[in-house]
Structure 1
Amino acid sequence: MSERISCSVLQNKVMSAEQAATFIQAGDRVGMSGFTGAGCPKELPTAIAERAKAHHARGDEFRIDLWTGASTSPVVDGVLAEAHALNRRLPYASDPTLRRAINSGEVDYLDPHLSHSAQHMWFGFYGNLDVAVIEVAAILPDGRLVPSSSVGNNKTWLDQADKVIIEVNDWQPRAFEGFHDVYYKTALPPHRQPIPLTQVDQLIGEPYLRVDLDKVVAVVETHAPDRNSPFAPIDAASTAIGEHVVDFLRHEVAAGRMPASLLPIQSGVGNVANAVLAGLGNSEFNGLSAYTEVLQDGMLDLLDDGTLAFASATSFGLSDLGAERFNRDIEKYRGKLVLRAEEISNHPELIRRLGLICMNGMIEADIYGHVNSTHVMGSQMMNGIGGSGDFTRNAFLNMFLSPSTAKNGSISTIVPMASHVDHTEHDVMVIVTEQGLADLRGLSPRRRARVVIENCAHPDYKDALLDYVERAEKARPNALHTPHLLDEALSWHQRFVDTGTMQKQA
């Protein structure tokens, strides 16, 4: 790897992952690279897990706090959770093994907005960061680091950690140099200045990460691919949601509320998001831009066909085929996309200034427009809020997307009252299911209820929802702003917990 590690100081610190793991002690706070499955360390987590298992076998406690950019992959969250090596985790987690540990109470999970995670570290809210473990594509002679397939919170972890371990992964393209824009001119309150980014394709930083060479205790050589989940085929419900979104954007253009090339788009991750991107690709829209968190396969398609002119994110979120395609054709994407630090990709100031169209998934929405993005049946954590709150509250236009039912129809995603609220009615503008689209802008809660039920609820649940609203209005004539039957508001969720379906049994 001489061409990947060209700094003589750090060449002398190359060692095995097992040796490097000895620098991490029980109780340490560890910041790792990674956002989705992209850019995670590949060797150190397993070595730390084995170290934890050895301590546990001797009857010794060994757990660490783990902070990342967002979710990682089974080779990070999965192996560490399976080894019972985690005490506290933030800010986002999607691995099923870790999810079980969180919901069983074994792992304390913090779920801040992604735009808050780095700055809360700087503010000292979480305590001192002991170790940073960061994957890079290369180390330059002067010690600057070429980031790999995500940036996330890596800048903050490198700046804040007492010790740094670097994984140099030669699976990541060496040609990544020049694809990143890391902004180093942020300051703490009360000395903050405006961030000088006014266009999606503007570069305001530098293409490298910096590190204090004296803090680097180990360099580990790896050759391993990112572990991203394949996307399932887009189903009919997702396709219908995408069609509703594209039709609505046409309506907004015709109404003069946005230009024909739209405003910059932000899209969450998953099949519904990819269906929306596919719908845009099949539409008349072109010359679009994206300012988002994650670049999915669908955005590569839009870059290839010219629908998308430029994309800014903090990470890739590609399938294995998508990653192979990007790595093979990397040069054709140069100048068309950039990866930034998470504190910039998700920054409320920039989201509002650029005027984003933000589209994110949800677990459920209630009839008055409150959205639950995180908790199943009010208590079980699914993944976390991620960046959806950053984008929703500050968007020019926001939409929440989901099929109208889940679990083969046993769950309605439109409910009388959300069992957990991540996005309040004050923020939510549009709700979309395969049934239709509810534009909630300018509507009072009572008006919203009818629009949501009529346009978004599944036929199997529509009559029951309307009946709930009508009875609530009759029962509480002096509380008609947001009428609820308090003894029934969460009864649908309780019915599912008790019987396995939200539908009333005959």
Structure 2
Amino acid sequence: MSGRIAHAGLAALRMDADHAAALIAPGMTVGMSGFTGAGYPKAVPLALATRISDAHERGEPFRLRVLTGASTAPELDGALARAGGIDFRLPYQSDPELRARINRGEIEYMDLHLGHVAQYALFGFLGRIDVAIIEATAILADGRLLPSTSIGNNKTWLDLADKVIVEVNQRQPLGLDGMHDIYYGTAMPPDRKPIPLLHPGDRIGEPYLRVDPAKIVAVVETDAPDRIGRFSPPDDVSKRIAAHLVEFFRHEIRVGRLSERLLPLQSGVGNIANAVLAGLREGGFRGLNAFTEVIQDGMLDLLADGTLEMASATSFSLSPEGVDEFVRNIERYRNRIVLRPQEMSNHGELIRRLGCIAMNGMVEADLYGNVNSTHVAGSSIINGIGGSGDFARNGFLSCFMTPSTAKGGAISAIVPMVSHVDHTEHDVAVVVTEQGLADLRGLSPKQRARAIIAHCVHPDYRPMLADYFERACRDSFGKHTPHLLPEALSWHQRYLNTGSMRA
């Protein structure tokens, strides 16, 4: 294992996870690597959770501010949450235990656009970062780090943290060498300069993470896999959503707004996203590019068969089978995948310049195209906004997708007024359900409402929504964006009261 630690001075700092965890004190702010279950530290957080639990048994307070790239895994978010060791957490999360404690008010949680986290930290809005805990594939002779399967905010944590703990994970393939692109040309306003990236495959930085060796206080050797779950195969609903979106792309090609190679794709994570990717392959598209956040199994398939030419992201999000495929054929993927810091993968300047097509899931949309991506009944967080806002606001096309109903039909995904707004009507171009697709571009609010009702609402709810809209047009205070305020959120309240939105 020591062969992966080529810096003699840092090799001398090798210790076990328990001793490394002992370097972290209560009240500290800790920046962790990890993005969607890839590239997170595997050992130190578990040891830290044990240390926190022991302190609590002695009646001693021990809580931390935890900053990451996005969601991590049970060994990090789950373990620290169960131990009662998290005081504050940002940005995106998906662990059930962490989510439950946030919604019970036990943990303060800040949901934030993924593309904004680095600049928030650099501007000082997140306070002092005491320790960074970063997974690496190897440490070079000059102290630089070969990143692992995600980059996320690692560059920022390494730059800003007072102290650094590095986990060197033997399970991560050395073939990752050369796949990363770390850009060090950012600056604080007013000294910012254009980022010199014109194509998703451009490499504008360095393949390694810089870190001052003097800041590294511990090196922990690990041998553990990333923990990413499998997604179920796309069901009929997901396939129908994908078919509507692929047909829409075909229409845009026919009218000259898109070419046969489309524009760089951004795709969220999950069954619907994978169904869309499969639909593009089955539709005969070739030579496409992706400028996105995560590379899923579906993207590996598209890279392998030529549907995708190049994919830029900040992390992998692969099933165990996908990991096996990637490692087995890593030479095939080396020059066709670029992993960047998330301040680059989610940078508004680059998304706008490249003209990305954003395809993201949602919880619900309302009549006028406002989208809720994060909350149930306006109050309970699910996961977070992730990068959807970065791409919706800045992309060429912002598409939001969802089944038209949930909970066996008890919930309509199209409602009179969303209970929480993540993406305003001004940032939403296309809404898609298995019922159909509503192209909202160039439409007034009432025109948008009629398109959504006609194309996206489930038949069980279409008469209810049409009735609400007609009465709102007649009786609302204003006629530009008609609403009946006493009824606007009544569907959500009815669900909370009765278990169904149906009247």
Give the TM-score range, shorter chain: over 0.9
The answer for the alignment partner of 1:80 in structure 2 is: 80
Q: Which amino acid aligns with 2:489?
A: L
SS of the aligned residue for 1:3 comes to helix
- Distance in 2, matches of 1:283 and 1:358, equals 19
What letter corresponds to residue 421 of structure 1 in structure 2? V
* Alpha-carbon distance in structure 2 between the residues aligned to 1:308 and 1:423: 28
1:488 matched to 2:487: yes
- Counterpart amino acid of residue 481 in structure 1: H
Which residue of 2 is the match for residue 502 of structure 1?
A: 501
Compute the displacement of 1:119 (Å). 0.6
**Counterpart position of 1:21:** 21
- Alignment correspondent of 2:261: 261
CA deviation string 1:263-321 (max 9, x = no partner):
11000000000000010111121000000000000000100110000000000011111
Name the counterpart of 1:173.
173
Q: 1:369-408, aligned counterparts within 5 Å? A: 369-408=369-408
| SS across alignment from 1:343 | helix
Task: Give the secondary-structure state (helix, strand or coil) at the position aligned to 1:66.
Answer: strand
Q: How does 1:26-425 map to 2 (within 5 A)?
A: 26-425=26-425
Specify the code of the residue in structure 2 equivalent to 1:77: D
Q: Deviations over 1:13-32 (max 9, x none)?
A: 00000000011100000000
Contact 2:176 2:334 in 1 (8 A): no
The AA in structure 2 aligned to 1:413 is A
1:479 CA drift (Å): 1.4
- The whole-number CA distance in structure 2 between the counterparts of 1:283 and 1:63 is 51
Partner AA of 1:495 in structure 2: R
AA paired with 1:32? M
Secondary structure in structure 2 of the residue aligned to 1:34: coil
Deviation at 1:247, TM superposition (A): 0.4
Cα distance in structure 1, aligned partners of 2:91 and 2:341: 15
Deviations 1:225-260 (A, max 9, x none): 000011112110000011011000000011101111
Distance, in Å, in 1 between the alignment partners of 2:28 and 2:500 is: 44
Q: CA RMSD in A?
A: 0.6
Q: Is the 8 A contact 2:179 2:338 kept in 1?
A: yes
How far apart are the structure 1 equivalents of 2:451 and 2:74? 41
TM-score, scaled relative to structure 2: 0.99
- State the Cα deviation string for residues 350-369 of structure 1 (Å, max 9, x = none): 00000001100000000100
Measure, in 2, the Cα distance between the counterparts of 1:243 and 1:482. Answer: 31
Q: Secondary structure at the match of 2:208?
A: coil
- Per the TM alignment, residue 181 of structure 1 is displaced from its structure 2 partner at its CA by 0.1
**Local SS of the residue matching 1:408:** helix
Question: Could you tell me how far apart the structure 2 residues matched to 1:304 and 1:161 are?
Answer: 39
**Does residue 432 in structure 1 map to residue 432 in structure 2?**
yes
Which amino acid in the other structure matches residue 22 of structure 2? Answer: T
Q: Aligned AA for 2:414?
A: I
Larger deviation, residues 326-335 vs 338-347: 326-335
Matched residues in 2 for 1:142 and 1:328: separation?
29
Partner of 1:463: 463
1:185-232 deviation digits (Å, cap 9, x = unpaired):
111111110100011110000000011100000000000000001111
Q: What per-residue deviation string (whole Å, max 9, x for no partner) do you get for residues 386-415 of structure 1? A: 100000000101100000011111000000
Would you identify which runs of 4 or more consecutive aligned residues in structure 1 move more than 6 Å?
Answer: none
Q: Secondary structure at the match of 1:116?
A: helix
Q: Which residue identity lines up with residue 36 of structure 2 in the other structure? A: T
Amino acid at match of 1:156: T
- In 2, Cα distance between equivalents of 1:388 and 1:326: 26
Give 5+ residue unaligned stretches, structure 1: none
Q: Structure 2 unaligned runs (5+)?
A: none
Shift of 1:2: 2.2
Are the equivalent residues in 1 in contact too, given 2:405–2:411 (CA < 8 A)? yes
Q: Give the Cα separation in 2 of the matches to 1:124 and 1:66.
A: 15
What amino acid does structure 2 have at the position aligned with 1:354?
L
1:366-395 per-position Cα deviation (integer Å, ceiling 9, x unaligned) = 010000001111100000001000000001
Q: Identity of counterpart residues, as a percentage?
A: 62
Describe the superposition over 1:29-78 as per-residue Cα deviations: whole angstroms up to 9, x where unpaired: 00000000000000011011001001001000000000000111111100
Assess if the C-alpha contact under 8 Å between 2:81 and 2:98 holds in 1: yes
User: When the two structures are aligned, how many residues end up with a matched partner?
Assistant: 503
CA separation in 2, counterparts of 1:328 and 1:105? 45
- Cα distance in 1 for residues equivalent to 2:65 and 2:317: 25
